[in-house]
Structure 1
Amino acid sequence: MDIYYWVIFFATVLGVSLIPGPSTLIAFTHGATYGWSRSAYTAFGNSTASVLQASAASAGLGVIITSSALMFAAIKYAGAAYLIYVGIQMWHSAARPVSLASQDRHHGRLSRKLFSGGFTVAISNPKAIAFFTALFPQFMSADGNSWAQLSMMIVLVGLGAFLVAMIYGCLGAWVRGLELSKSLMSRIYKTTGGLFVASGFGLAASRNG
């Protein structure tokens, strides 16, 4: 496939990923809480989930999931429940004193927590697999090796997911660097938590497919 189409594909992935959603919200929150360098673990988690979803779409699982109403609904409602849970946890954390200082204790445990948060929020959206299933054929060329093209697309999806999550993580770190009052930071937590809850209910209420 010509480099021109690869650029368009990557721009499409970036454009869709930049739209605010649960994955970008959690990257922003982790950046605001722990700083941009720690939010890289969140970005890795997000990227890993995106690569798995893109791989599932390439393997044909996207067709199976989207054609099975029961399977799609199970994944959708599980993801919605998790988003609501994250939102409630974030809302509760705003009620506790918000520390603006760097948190260096238990680095390994924190890294796993951030990675897990980014991964779980991203993987909880079954519509990502459906999106990749619909997107990939639009950019595949009959002239080239289909597996090589799909592999390249998966790599670009992972790279795009990581870059976008880091952008939001750095944005959150910038907000943190403004040294806002703890009360204002608590409001940010509550607002973000509310958006997670709204996303969860929105996902649950959305139609299949």
Structure 2
Amino acid sequence: MPLDTWLLFVVTVFFVSATPGPNMLLAMTHGIRYGVRASLPTMLGLLVALGIVMAASVAGLGALLATSEALFAAVKYAGAAYLIWLGVKTWRAHPEALTAPEAAGNGGAGGWAKFRTGFLVAMSNPKAFIFFTALFPQFMDARAAQLPQLLTLAATFFVIESGWQFVYATGGARLGSWLSSPLRQRWVNRFAGGAFVGAGVALSGVSQGS
């Protein structure tokens, strides 16, 4: 994978992961309620579910590329269109009050209960499968070895997501207070939305031009 493509992926994922979605809000609220160390099982549950979702997406993309390069290209362009639409939607999103996501159980005081809550919250969003299937092909070359590319993208996303979860859990009340500002939420949405649109527009032709 070219370094410039990987760096663009890092920038895109950095802003995408920073957006306060259900996973980050759960890490933040458990960080506030239980402290960072006691919230580690919650974050572990979130990350295990994330790993499962990415593994399923990677397996599907690998099988698709092995079947037909043309079909993979079609998925790539469809994914680019989805990312652009998602970027516009994120850019235009109105600031909302930050509330903790609901899941089976309330997190409890035990490590297993927190892990289960984190796992269920991360797995309860079927859009995650669509997201990874749309995002990864934008940074891949169908003519290069697929497994190293997929593993690089998945590992990079996992590391950045882990870092942001720790930031949210550590920041806790401060981060929640900072994001409660409509103006700041709007700027976060615009950064994330711009990253989505940029990935969709700039990378839809990477494999054709390489």
TM-score range, shorter chain: 0.5 to 0.7
Distance 1:154 1:13 in 2: 11
1:114 Cα offset (Å) = 2.2
**Mapped contact 1:22–1:121 kept (Cα < 8 A):** yes
Find the residue that maps to 1:20 and give its secondary structure. coil
**2:49 is aligned with what amino acid?**
A
Q: Which residue of 2 aligns with 1:110?
A: 110
Render the CA deviation track for 1:11-69: whole Å, top value 9, x for unaligned. 222211211121111101110111112223322222221121111111228x99xxxxx
Partner of 2:57: 57
Q: Is the 8 A contact 2:106 2:117 kept in 1?
A: no
Q: Distance in 1 between matches of 2:19 and 2:174?
A: 19
TM-score, scaled relative to structure 2: 0.57
2:93 maps to which residue? none
The question of whether the paired residues in 2 share the 8 Å contact of 1:42 and 1:165 is answered with no
Change (3 A) 1:40 1:89: closer
CA distance in 1 between partners of 2:41 and 2:7 (Å) = 26
Specify the alignment match of 1:159 in structure 2: 159
Asked if residue 34 in structure 1 is aligned to residue 18 in structure 2, the reply is: no
- Report SS of the residue matched to 2:141: coil
Once residues 85 and 121 of structure 1 are traced to their aligned partners in structure 2, the CA distance between those partners, rounded to angstroms, is 6
Contact between 2:5 and 2:139, CA under 8 Å: does it hold in 1? yes
- Aligned residue for 1:129? 129
Task: Please state how far the C-alpha of 1:89 moved relative to its aligned partner.
Answer: 4.7
2:138 — aligned with what? Answer: 138
SS at match of 1:133: helix
- Contact 1:46–1:161 (CA<8 Å) still a contact in 2? no
Aligned twin of 1:8: 8
Q: Which runs of 5+ in 2 are unaligned?
A: 65-100, 176-210
> Following TM superposition, where does structure 1 have runs of at least 4 consecutive aligned residues deviating by more than 6 angstroms?
none
Which residue does the alignment assign to 1:103?
A: none
CA shift, 1:173, in A, is 6.3
Q: Structure 1 residues 50, 10: closer, same or farther in 2, change over 3 A? A: farther
- What is the RMSD of the two structures over their aligned residues, measured on CA atoms? 2.9
SS of 1:59's equivalent in the other structure is helix
TM-score, length basis structure 1: 0.58
Aligned length: 139
Tell me, what secondary structure is at the counterpart of 1:151?
Answer: helix
SS of structure 2 residue aligned to 1:142:
coil
Q: Deviation string for 1:161-180 (max 9, x for gaps)?
A: 211111110111658xxxxx
The answer (yes or no) to whether the contact 1:17–1:161 under 8 Å persists in 2 is: yes
Following the alignment from structure 1 to structure 2, what is the Cα–Cα distance between the partners of residues 52 and 58? 10
- Residues 112 and 126 of structure 1: CA distance in aligned 2, closer, same or farther (over 3 Å): same
